[in-house]
């Protein structure tokens, strides 16, 4: 997860161009994150290449929130400007023709010139899916995080409540974070447990899936993965719930737990004001446990 910096001034499409917004889902396992790199193996690189082939002109996209290597997207939103006038369904089918199987455009929609995928977002949502099992993941390897010990639901909920509201999240910020301010407003954290159909082994415990959901005005680089490391330390009983508040107050990355794996992290998408008329969710949402 890359930082969502304060909004830049909203640019508008030149008079001869129209603006299109797209919702994109992807499995981030094979890619070096969202943002374009010289290697060319990023989600943005593949999307822009596919758009260029379909549109027959170079297309540059701007996204709602950049994701790190290994992080997945359920509804990343991008916008781009084009001289073409094509039906929304044509943009979806045509672009998907040229995309790898693990990246898909879910929807496309013309938007007013003043819309900006990042600057118009009023919040962002992420989910972390965690498998609790004595046995490591197999068919869902890379798509879920994993712990091999039981977690205390009540303790994690108590710890999470201390992070809600506006805070300086320096303790949960990566050293490479480029955000101008560490102060963010964490509006929602939900932690739910879904039992697995697998039976408990002779020695051990019944597996289950945990789903952690986060909503904030913006996030810092590695912020959720660093919070996850701390919540799991509490859930495991290594730290008491009030320790999270102490970590937050310390404003030091050294005070927190190690950064947790990117495997189970999903960018659920941005939140926009209703007047933009954009979809709130896609079918990709329904995959999560």
- Any domain includes 139: yes
Q: Is 68 a catalytic residue?
A: yes
277 in a structural domain: no
Mean pLDDT of the 122-148 span: 95
Q: Which of 85, 103, 101, 115 is nearest to 45 (CA)?
A: 103
pTM for the predicted model, two decimal places: 0.91
Q: Which are the contacts of 190, defined by CB distance < 8 A and separation ≥ 6?
A: 211, 212, 213
55 shares its domain with 74:
yes
Q: Is the pLDDT of residue 250 over 60?
A: yes
Say if residue 134 is in the same domain as residue 96: no
Q: Are residues 211 and 232 in the same domain?
A: yes
Digit-coded pLDDT (tens) for 25-75: 999 999 999 999 988 899 999 999 999 999 999 999 999 999 999 999 999
Same domain, 146 and 209: yes
Strand ranges in the chain using DSSP code E only, listed in sequence order: 18-26, 62-63, 72-82, 103-111, 123-132, 145-147, 165-168, 183-195, 208-216, 265-271
- 89 and 210 together in one domain: no
pLDDT of residue 5 exceeding 70, the answer is no
Same structural domain for residues 116 and 156?
no
Residues 93 and 67: their CA atoms lie apart, in Å, by 24
Q: Note whether 81 and 139 are same-domain residues.
A: no
Report the percent of the chain where pLDDT is more than 90. 82
SS3 149: coil
| Residues 264 and 143 sit within 8 Å (Cβ to Cβ) | yes
Question: Going by C-beta distance under 8 Å and a sequence separation of 6 or more, which residues neighbour residue 206?
Answer: 195, 196, 198, 199, 200
Q: Could you tell me if residue 230 is inside a domain? A: yes
CATH number of the domain where residue 55 is located: 3.30.70.580
- The DSSP bridge partners found for residue 167 are 184
The per-residue pLDDT for 11 is 59
- Select from 69, 104, 120 the last residue of a domain: 120
CA distance 168 to 250: 10
Name the catalytic one among 4, 11, 45, 68: 68
103 in the same domain as 192: no
Which domain CATH number covers 132? 3.30.70.660
Residues of the domain holding 250:
123-266
Same domain as 138, residue 256 = yes
CA-to-CA distance for 142 and 144, rounded, in angstroms?
Answer: 6
- Count up the domains in the chain and report the number: 2
pLDDT(84) > 50: yes
Residues 105 and 233 reside in one and the same domain: no
């Amino acid at each position: 997860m890359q930082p969502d910096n304060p909004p830049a001034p909203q640019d508008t499409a030149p008079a001869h161009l129209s603006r299109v917004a797209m919702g994109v889902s992807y499995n981030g396992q094979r890619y070096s994150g969202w943002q374009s790199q010289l290697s060319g193996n990023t989600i943005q690189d593949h999307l822009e290449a596919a758009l260029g082939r379909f549109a027959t002109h170079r297309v540059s996209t701007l996204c709602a929130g950049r994701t790190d290597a290994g992080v997945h997207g359920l509804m990343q939103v991008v916008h781009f400007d084009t001289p073409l006038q094509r039906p929304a369904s044509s943009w979806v089918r045509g672009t998907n023709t040229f995309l790898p199987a693990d990246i898909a455009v879910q929807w496309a929609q013309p938007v007013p010139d003043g819309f900006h995928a990042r600057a118009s977002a009023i919040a962002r949502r992420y989910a972390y899916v965690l498998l609790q099992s004595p046995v490591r993941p197999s068919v869902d390897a890379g798509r879920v995080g994993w712990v091999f010990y039981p977690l205390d639901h009540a303790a994690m909920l108590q710890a999470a409540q201390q992070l809600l509201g506006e805070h300086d999240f320096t303790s949960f910020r990566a050293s490479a974070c480029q955000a101008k301010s560490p102060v963010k407003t964490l509006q929602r954290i939900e932690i739910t447990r879904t039992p697995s159909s697998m039976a408990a082994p002779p020695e051990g415990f019944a597996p289950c899936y945990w789903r952690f959901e986060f909503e904030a005005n913006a996030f810092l680089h590695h912020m959720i993965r660093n919070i996850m490391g701390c919540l799991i330390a509490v859930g495991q009983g290594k730290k008491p719930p009030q320790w999270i508040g102490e970590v937050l107050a310390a404003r030091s990355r050294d005070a927190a737990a190690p950064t947790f794996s990117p495997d189970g992290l999903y960018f659920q998408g941005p939140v926009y004001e209703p007047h933009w008329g954009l979809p709130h969710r896609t079918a990709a949402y329904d995959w999560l446990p």
